Every structure is written in C-alpha cells, then in structure tokens.
Structure 1
Amino acid sequence: MGNRWIIAGLVGLLVAATASPTAQVDVNEKHLSEILSYMNESADACDDFFNYACGNWSEQHLSLYYTEIMGEVDLKVNKNLVKLMDKLAVSLQNSNHDDSNSVEDKVWRYYQTCRGASLDTRNLKHYLDFVQPGEQVPWPQLAVNSKQWPKNKFNWLETLGRLQRYSLNNVLMRSTVVPSYKNSRKYVIDLDRPVFKEKNQRLRGNFSTKNILLQLGVPKGSALNLARKVYQLELLVRDLTEGEDLPNDNLALHELERTIQAPWRKYFEIVLGHSVPRDFKVQISNVDYFEALVELLSRQEPNVVASYIMVRFIIFLREESMGIDEPIECIQDVRRNLDLAINLLYEEHFYESNRQKNNEEVTALFEILRAQFLTGMDGNVFNLNATQRELLRNKTRSMDINIGNMPKGVNHRKFVTNFYRELSLSESDYEENHLKVLQFRAARLIEKLDQQQPSHTKFALNDDGDYAMSSSPFYLQQLNLIVVPFGLLQEPVFNADMHDIFKISLLGFMIAHEIIHGFDSTGLGYDAKALDCINRNETDNLDERIADISGIRLAFDAYFAPGSKYSQAHPTFTTLPLKKIFFLNLAQFFCGSLDTSFMSHDPDDVRIKQLLINFPPFAETYGCRQGQDIMHPAEKCRLWR
C-alpha cells in the first residue's frame, strides 16, 4: 500500500510553542493549522491529492464573493477599500480646499456614481448618447428617421477608430501598441486579424444579440431579423480568420493604403488625435485577411455593419463594468478602471507599514528563483544550443519584478497625481465617467508611441481590466516584467514572518510560474514528444500547464536542490517533514470549489493533478506506488532532462 499519511494524527504534529513564542512561531502554527483543517481524512494523497489536501476547504469558505484562494484575497482587498471609500466621503465633505484634482476625489467620484447614479443614466443605451459612429452620422437605431439614415456617410474603419479611442479592440481587427519587432525599445501600432477564442470575444447567438438590440432601442418587430444578419456577418468574419498566421510586415502609411484599400490615414488620425505623415510606419500581420475583410464588408448592408460594431461595443462596455451598484462590485469597478490610483491609496493606507520588509522578502525570493532558473540553463536541462542558452540567459538576467505595479525611483504620490491630471469626472453620471476612464486608458497607451520607457520605471499600463482588479501576479512579455500586486502580500498567501518553506511553496510557486511564462514563445527546448505527453489529458491552455509543471520544479529545486540558500533544518513548530509541508502549502493555491471556471486555465483539480503526476519528488514524498496509484503513473512526461 505504500506510505499512507494518517490525517487523524496530523494535528498532533503541531509542536507546542515555547513559553515566550515569537511572532514567527505564531504565524507558522496558525498557517499550518489552517492547512491541516482543510484536509479530507478519508482521501488518499496517492489517488487524489486535490481531495486529500483541499477536501474540506469549501465547507470552511462559504462566501458569495469567492470560491478559491485568490478570490479570498481579493475580497479582503475589496473590503478594505470599501472602508476607505467611507472615510474619503467624510474627509472630502469636510475639506475646505479644492480637492477636484486629487487622486482621492477622482476615485471617490467614480465610486459614488457607480453606487448612486440615477436610474435614467444606468442603462446601456445611454452610452450611445456620448459616442457616434461618424461625423453627423448617428447609430442607425438612434436616427430621427431610420429610413433616412445617411448610410453613404458611414465608414466602418472610421467608426472603429472612434471606438478604439474608448479602448474597444478585437472587433473586425486588432490594433495594439507594442514594441517594434525591429527595435523593442520603440513602440509601434500593430494591426492583426481578430480572435474569437473566448466567450467575451464573440457574439453568443441570434437571441442573445436580439436582446442587446432591444435594449438599445431597436423595435421589437425588426430586432430578430437584424440580429440574424449581425450574427451571420460575424460568422463570415470568423471564416476569414481561419488558417495559419502569416508573418508581419512593416509598412509606411501610403504602402498600407495601396495594399489594403481603405481610409487608413483617416483611421489613424482619429485614433492618434493628430495628422499623420504618409511615411508613418505600421506593423501589420495577415495582410490577406485585411484584403478579404475590405472586400467582404463592401458587400454588406451598411446598417448591418454599423449594428454589428455597435453590439460588440456594448458587449465590451458591459464586460468592462461590474453592472451592479453594490459596494464590493463598485470597488472592483474602480480597481479595474483607475488601477494606478487604487494602487497608490492601497499602498499608503494598507501596505506602507510592511512595505520595506515585504518588498525585501519578495525581491529576495524572486532573485533566488531567477538564479535557480539560470542554474538550470548552465546545466542545459532545456536542451538548447550555445546561442540559444546565451539569449535566454540575457533575457532571464534582465527580467524584473514590480511589487504593487508602481514606477520605481519616483515619488508615487506625485507620479499618480500627475498621471491623472487631465482626467475630469462627473458627479452624477456613471456611463459618462466609465467612457471617460476608458478614453483616458486608451490615450495613455497611445502615448507610448512617442516614448521610450526607461527600464528602471517599468510598470504595467492597464489594457486589461481583469488583471487590474485582481491580486494575482502576472507577467508582461513586452516589458519582461513580473507584477506582484500589493494585495497579494497578505495571509493566507504571504507573511514576511512565515517560515521560508511556506514562502517558496506558495508565493514562490506563483512567481516561478510567471518566470516560465517569460519563455512561452521560445519552447525552452521542449520537444514535440514531451509536449504531446503533457497534452495527453487534452487542454486548450498548454502554456499554463507547462508553466505549472516547470514552475513547481523551479520552486522545489530552489529550496531543496544542492547548493540551496535555504536551511534544511527541521522547523520547531511541527514534526511534519519539510517536503510534505511544501506540497500541502502548494495545494492551497488550487483549493476551492470545483464549480469555479477559469477563462485561461484548466479546473484546479485538473491543474494540481497534472503538475504532480509528472513530478517525481511528489511520489517519493508520499510513498506512492508507480503504475498502481493514480498520482504516480508508470510513464511521466519529462520537460527537462
């Protein structure tokens, strides 16, 4: 049967503290006690480690707001910020100064219009009052006389330019500001075909489209027919995106207009807000898609094309708003749309007292993991040639970490105040404010075209609200940067006084996972056989699975491999072996309800199973029988030699 761990005796492994327990012992005992309380006594670690480590987690975390550990952390962050909003309301009301340009005033205005805007401004149609598809061109459904709608004045590319000023993207095409492939320090506009992989990147069908059209004022008698035409148009566009990606070209504006006959100059002048010279450089991929798109749209009814763009715009706005006026949802809305402002306030009010200690601990953890990754390159575990190894060494050495997503080396209060200087918000209209912050976000991203950002001030300009309102760490390929939000650095994920085994096995694993994402596009020398093996239990998120499997090895080796900087001495707060603590604490990242779905990840029970069945130290630690126990299959996938 192998070595089975008797869970009923686990609590006895907590050794009593000394007469004068230190803060470190207290936090370690508390954290381990929580881990042990989540375990399922009837499960077998070698058959179902998720159930073994997390079987009782859900019944101890009954909440409407979260179903897993990152949701738990985010709820703590959100509750703190809601309390801060209550304090801001009082302080701003009692202030004798003009606070209209302060960070606090802008955050408060956005929050309070989310909470208390009148019902006549809280509807999807109200958005269209502020945004038109063209000069003197209303939306077809809002025209005074729909039969006289000026279809000859409508141009789809001009409309996209107008809406992209409000951060709309991935409708008919993608237009993003990225580092040039010729010079990564210089930013360019990159054009590419759209993607439809995720649910929020496409229409849901005729009836869902019909419901949106009805909310936007389309008469009931014609809504379904228009919805069918709109949905059919998207299906035709999706057909055009099929096929392999073609390499990108670097074209001057006059070359682009000659190759793809559309009013590109007008489009770029709308997006950029100024005139554009004929030699303005654009990076474009899949030129054949754009040629086919122009031809396709020339055959469509203009009002159908306009309606399609309008519906996709409204879906985007709905995705970028929480849609509920409750305190928690409204603070999430603020986080996703005024992220730097919230980062500053969170730092000043909730993080400052632990800032220096936490930052030192997390930076040291990152540097240890990075050094371990470089050690793997020196041993050529990735099976690379000398040139490849040197390129990846250079990328690894230049990889950086940003705690809190704030610029380094500058006064944060002054920087954020100046950053939002031109943003002016309404006191009563939520939809107006929402459009203003989206427009502000788009403008800041466009400004990168004229900048070469100094590496020492690297931070993430938000172009994804889901990242902004989450406390999860993430990797930015463009900046070669890992961002660790302030809110992540609290229990149950992190405490600076925790034993190192807790730090490396949870936060360390998260950071290691993101380090591996820095090399998604390189493959790190994984051969086709290894990748096929990893994907036997098929996944649409292969990069995530690779980052999990490679990340656990990186974190584990950083602690246990020869030459480790960590002490291997047994801790005083328990007799539980260090390696079992490592795996039990790692599991906390995956504990949660199995009803939870993730946009870009497999379910948590699948993730932890896939990363552990392919990691020999796990089976060794728990005495699993190879070829007999589920968690120790006879054949393991080897990504690293």
Structure 2
Amino acid sequence: MMESRSYLSLSWLLLLLCSTVCSANPNLEIMKRMLDDMDEKVEPCHNFYNSSQKNLKWHAFATVSDQFQLLFDGIENEVFEKHSFEEKLQRLYKICSTMERPSLLRYFELVKPGEDLNWPFLTPRGGKWPKEKFQWMEALARLRRYGFNDIMFGMSIRQDPNSDSGQPIVVFEKKYDSLFRFIESLQNIGLPPKLAKEIAPLDNAIQEMYKSDMKFEHYARDAAPVKRISLGQLEIYGVSLTKYLEIVFGRPFSPDFVVHVENLYYLRGLQNLMTAVPSQVVANYLTARFSFYIMFTFMKHGDSCVTTMRQSMEFASNLLFEERILGRKKLRSYQNQAGKIFDAIRQQLNIRLERNVLKLPPAEISLLQKKLNGLSLSIGNLPGKAGHRRFVTRYYKELEFADDEELATAHLKVLEHRTRAELSLLDQPNFKDRRYMLHSYPISNFFFETAYEENGNTIYVAYDFLADASFDPDSHDIFKVTPLGIRFGLEMLKSFDLFNCKHHKVNMLQLFDDNQITTAGDECVSAWTQDNLLSQRDQYLVVLHLVHEAYFAEGSKFSQRQPNFTTMSLRELFFFRFGQSSFGQTLYFGSDFVEGGSPINSLTRLPVFVRTFNCLAPGEQLTTTQKST
C-alpha cells in the first residue's frame, strides 16, 4: 500500500507562500487549490473520491461571463457604424436589458400554425377552432423556421455520406430525447393539469414509436429501405415532405429533389399516428413543446442578459471578446496549447485504429481514420486562423432590428436568422470545409465547455474552459491535459458514432479499450442496450487511459520532469486532477455512489491507477483485512 504523503504540510507551506508567489507562479496557485480540496487521511485505493475531493463537494464550473458582462456594458453607449454587426449586437443587448420578458401568448400571436389560422387557445370565447384547416406538417414546418427541430422528426443539412466531394444534402431523421421528461418538466413550470392530461398520451405514443423503431433498426440492420430517395418517390410510401421543405426554405422544390431519409418506417408510422390523433390535441402538443423551446432560447438571469447574448449572437459576441478582452497573443497561446493536446489524443486513437484489435475490414478502418483526421479544432467557435471579422460581418449581414423593436420580435428574428444561416449550407459546395459549428437548440451546458456538432467536422472549445490558470503559458503540462484531453477524447469518440448498430455489428468501444474494462458484450446491440450510466463509466475509463497514454507514452511532447512545487508524482497528479474535475464528479454520482457506504472506486479497474498508487489486488486486500482483525 502506498505510504501516506504529507500533502497537508505542503498545503500549509503553499498557503504561506501564496500571498506573494502565487500570482507570479500559476503552478503554485493550481497546486494550492488542489491541496485545499484533498484529504490526505484517505487512501486513494480505498476511497479515491474523498481522497481527491474531501466532503465530496466539487466546485462550480468557472465561466468568463463576468468578462462578457463588462464587454456588453462597455459597448452600450458606443457609436458604431450603421448596420455593422457591433451595432446589431448593441441593439439586441439594449432590447434585452431594458425590456421585460414578454408573455408566451405574444409568441403564438406572431407564429401561427397556418395561413389565416390561430392556435386553438387563441380562439375567441364562444368561437369554434377550424380544425379542418390545421395541417400538422405545415405547423411543424413553420416552427422549424425558428430552429425548432427536436420534436417528432428533425431536418438538417449535412455532408452527403455518399459524396467524396463533401456535397451537402437534406437529411430527415426521427427525433425524441427520451431522457428529457417533457410533461413533468412543463408541469413544474406551470402547465395546466388539464392540458397535461390531454397531450400526455400523444407524447407517450411518439416516445414508444421512437423506441420501437430504434430497436427495429438495431436488431434488423438490413431491413431499412434505401435512404437516398426523391420527394416524388417518398409520396409512394405515403410520406409527403415537399410542402414542409417549401415552407421552411421559402422556395419551391421539385419532385425529383433527392433527400436522405434515415428512418422511413418511422416517418410512415408518424404520419399514421398524426392522422389518428385529433387535430386540436396535436396543435396543443406543438404549443406546449414550442413554449418550452422559447423559454430556453432567450433566458434572462435576473437582470443579466449575458447568457442570452452569448447564445443568440454567439459569433459577434465571441469576436468582440477575442479582440477586446482576449487579444491575439492569448488567443494564439490557447490555440497552441489546446492544439497540442488535440493532436496527442488524436494520435492515440489513430494508433488503436491501426492496431485494429477487432479485426474490422480495412475499408471500415479507413473510414474511421478519415473521419478522425478530418476533425478540426475551433477556439471560441470562430472559423480558421484569420478573417474572423469578415466572417462575422457577412454572417450577420441580413439581421436587422427596427427602432421600435419589441423583445419577442427581436427574439424570433434572431432564431429565424440563425435557421436561415443553417439552411444556407445546402447551397455551399464546400460544406466539408466549414470550421465552426452551429449549436442545436436548446443549447446545453456544454456551450461553456466543449462540443462536437453531430455529423460535423469541428470540435469547439469555449473560452470559459481555457480561462483557468491551467492554461497560463507557464503552467505545467500535467494541469492542461486533464481535463481538456478527456473532453477531446470523448468528443472524438462521439464523432465515430460508436453505438449506431445500423453501421457497426460489434461493440466499437472495445477497439480503443486496452485493458478489457468495458462491461457490455462483444455485440453492438449489447453496448447500445447497456445502462446509460454504466456506458458512460466505461467510456470515461477508456478515455482516461488514452489520455494517460498520450501524456506518458514514449515520444510524448508533454513535460515529464518532476515538478518542484509538489512531492506528488506526475501520475498521481494526473489522477487527482481527474478526481477533482467534473468527470470525477459525474463518475462518482453516476456509477460509484453507494447509499450509506463507501463509494466504489472504478478507477482500480485501470492497471495504471493500481500501479500509480501501489494498490493491493482484491485478494491481498482481503488477507490484510483478516490479519488486522
């Protein structure tokens, strides 16, 4: 067993030194913070979580929102060139910060389900809602114009999987977030019980149809019909998408126009379901879903509009932050530091693709290598290394706000502008060369960390993630690699679509698992049906090992010298950094927490962790315990 180290005495020494030294030495600042959170009385082998994070209280993730607040406050009274993106950003900030949030009723007055048709709840008392005018596909298309794309089915523009030149294609696929308890969430924010009771059966039916289709596709891999199909041919299957596209894009589409339909059987089933359900129930269901969407796409936290501004006009906000707060020197530093980690993690994945322990066909390995090596890194989600101002100016060229703009119309304009920018990718022949990502709404918490755009080619790192002292140019490499390397590893694995059993027969995570620690079976279906928390644990451990190899492998470009600011080894620092990160927190609460007892230590499944802390094997631990009693 590893002898107890005197971390606490070192911590007190750092506390004494830090008032004069920490500001000049980021390593001391980081080390002090680490030691303050650790409990040296607890053995890492037995209780890693309490050892690395005493009291099991993790710090909230830091953001640079305060700096953005200063930025927005600073431009509030500046004079900008008319129609410049700065003026538009300033205008939206003033609208947001000076106006009360409008009622949801106002949005439904502005966004109608059809020509000369209101939503059922807007029907005057005593009047009759003209249900015969309601067409669910038309209503869904009108909502899609504002980015609403995660209900019933989704439509997006992606690189044509059958085109080597990277041509874009329209993709239709089923959509339902089965982990999101929609009805329950709406009831928590005031959905009337009567309405909840009315729409719940439809929500359950869509959810069950989604799950059933997922099982069908994963167990019957060869049963799906051809995916590339013209709009005219779709009509033969009873699926009409022409009017939907014409409403969303605002232009006509020929019956010969070819689209990619990922889930044709699902769309046919959805068509039948919507026909069987009363029109008013469908309309009320869309109303409830869109209400939730509206609330989460323009949120004010107290009087602050920072989060709203960063999400609504992301590129404009990021460019001004880059120019006025960050500066070129720090931006280049971020790019170099993050890029070094990005390349190292990609190299480890490439090594395992070449090793090919699953004996996959060479063509399949080649496709995975092409996908991996085609990924690019974006700091702050602005494309390329130059021309950021030109890109942002062009991106917001068509967005305009009236002098008397109200908040609801400004909000809808931003959403519609964003959708038009997304849809314009259909007319861009160099789609695969895009080096930025368009976040899907509602935007997740990963907006402030890292993200990979589904079926895209860009991994994005937020400024927030790099604002930590770890990314000071003088900080030790060990602090930079964890946790950013883990983020990169998980996003790169996500790009492989490992658990898509329509494309893979085997459990693809095993391709990257050097230690045979994955608990699902060898078949893809066993991995797909595995409990989500256990699947997440396996992915964390596999990626943690990959990041460890990236840092300590022979030929590594990361510093291997023993730091002079701690008696811990680099490997010990590596694992304690993981334990104190959001990944350690997630692993603890997700899979290793034990009610009323000590937590499980999943990290002991990694041989390198056992060696680092000189942990005893399970049999030896039992013998030692028996002797002590």
What TM-score bracket applies, with the shorter chain setting the length?
Answer: 0.7 to 0.9
2:577 is aligned with 1:585: yes
Match of 2:351 in 1: 375
Question: What secondary structure sits across from 1:513 in the alignment?
Answer: helix
Q: Report the aligned-residue RMSD.
A: 3.5
Q: 1:144-178 CA distances to partner (integer Å, 9 max, x unpaired)? A: 35633222111111111111001112323222222
* Cα distance in 1 between the residues matched to 2:302 and 2:179: 26
Structure 1 window deviating more from structure 2 (533-542 vs 389-398): it is 533-542
2:48 is aligned with 1:82: no
Match of 1:319 in 2: 296
Question: What secondary structure sits across from 1:309 in the alignment?
Answer: helix
* Cα distance in 1 between the residues matched to 2:134 and 2:76: 45
2:325 is aligned with 1:350: yes
Match of 2:271 in 1: 294
When normalised by structure 2's length, the TM-score is 0.84
Counterpart amino acid of residue 88 in structure 1: I
Match of 2:220 in 1: none
Give the Å deviation of 1:16.
11
After superposition, the Cα gap between the structure-2 partners of 1:541 and 1:269, relative to the gap in structure 1 and judged at 3 Å, is farther
Match of 1:4 in 2: 4
* Cα distance in 2 between the residues matched to 1:6 and 1:315: 52
Give the Å deviation of 1:245.
4.6
Determine if contact 1:407/1:457 at 8 Å carries over to the other structure.
Answer: yes
Give the Å deviation of 1:12.
6.9
Identity of aligned residues (%): 26
Determine if contact 1:50/1:591 at 8 Å carries over to the other structure.
Answer: no
Match of 1:335 in 2: 310
Match of 1:128 in 2: 108
What is the correspondence of 1:517-556 to structure 2 with a 5 Å cutoff?
517-521=494-498, 523-524=507-508, 526=510, 531-532=518-519, 539-541=531-533, 544-556=536-548
* Cα distance in 2 between the residues matched to 1:277 and 1:518: 33
* Cα distance in 2 between the residues matched to 1:437 and 1:207: 28
Match of 2:250 in 1: 273
Determine if contact 2:371/2:496 at 8 Å carries over to the other structure.
Answer: no
2:384 is aligned with 1:408: yes
Question: What secondary structure sits across from 2:246 in the alignment?
Answer: helix
Candidates 227, 232, 237, aligned match of 1:254: 232
Give the Å deviation of 1:524.
3.8
Candidates 203, 215, 218, aligned match of 2:183: 203
After superposition, the Cα gap between the structure-2 partners of 1:46 and 1:440, relative to the gap in structure 1 and judged at 3 Å, is same
2:152 is aligned with 1:172: yes
After superposition, the Cα gap between the structure-2 partners of 1:207 and 1:558, relative to the gap in structure 1 and judged at 3 Å, is closer
Match of 1:394 in 2: 370
Match of 1:500 in 2: 477
Candidates 227, 238, 242, aligned match of 2:211: 242
Counterpart amino acid of residue 241 in structure 1: Y
Give the Å deviation of 1:385.
5.1
After superposition, the Cα gap between the structure-2 partners of 1:409 and 1:172, relative to the gap in structure 1 and judged at 3 Å, is same
Counterpart amino acid of residue 235 in structure 2: E
Determine if contact 2:342/2:488 at 8 Å carries over to the other structure.
Answer: yes
Determine if contact 2:435/2:457 at 8 Å carries over to the other structure.
Answer: no
When normalised by structure 1's length, the TM-score is 0.82
Match of 1:62 in 2: none
Q: What stretches of structure 1 of length at least 5 have no aligned partner? A: 59-66, 214-223, 631-641
Question: What secondary structure sits across from 1:251 in the alignment?
Answer: strand
* Cα distance in 2 between the residues matched to 1:28 and 1:516: 31
After superposition, the Cα gap between the structure-2 partners of 1:306 and 1:391, relative to the gap in structure 1 and judged at 3 Å, is closer
2:435 is aligned with 1:458: yes
* Cα distance in 2 between the residues matched to 1:530 and 1:84: 47
After superposition, the Cα gap between the structure-2 partners of 1:531 and 1:567, relative to the gap in structure 1 and judged at 3 Å, is closer
Q: 1:470-493 CA distances to partner (integer Å, 9 max, x unpaired)? A: 321122342332211223212144
Structure 1 window deviating more from structure 2 (44-53 vs 478-487): it is 478-487
* Cα distance in 2 between the residues matched to 1:250 and 1:240: 23
* Cα distance in 1 between the residues matched to 2:585 and 2:489: 24
Q: What stretches of structure 2 of length at least 5 have no aligned partner? A: 218-223, 499-503, 622-629
2:96 is aligned with 1:114: yes
Determine if contact 1:472/1:488 at 8 Å carries over to the other structure.
Answer: yes
Give the Å deviation of 1:370.
2.1
After superposition, the Cα gap between the structure-2 partners of 1:27 and 1:304, relative to the gap in structure 1 and judged at 3 Å, is same
What is the correspondence of 1:148-163 to structure 2 with a 5 Å cutoff?
148-163=128-143
* Cα distance in 1 between the residues matched to 2:317 and 2:608: 41
Counterpart amino acid of residue 35 in structure 2: L
Give the Å deviation of 1:442.
1.3
Give the Å deviation of 1:384.
4.3
Q: 1:309-340 CA distances to partner (integer Å, 9 max, x unpaired)? A: 1111111112223254421xx21111222111
Question: What secondary structure sits across from 1:365 in the alignment?
Answer: helix
Aligned residues: 590
Question: What secondary structure sits across from 1:90 in the alignment?
Answer: coil
Counterpart amino acid of residue 293 in structure 1: L
After superposition, the Cα gap between the structure-2 partners of 1:466 and 1:226, relative to the gap in structure 1 and judged at 3 Å, is closer
Determine if contact 1:13/1:576 at 8 Å carries over to the other structure.
Answer: no
* Cα distance in 2 between the residues matched to 1:13 and 1:22: 12
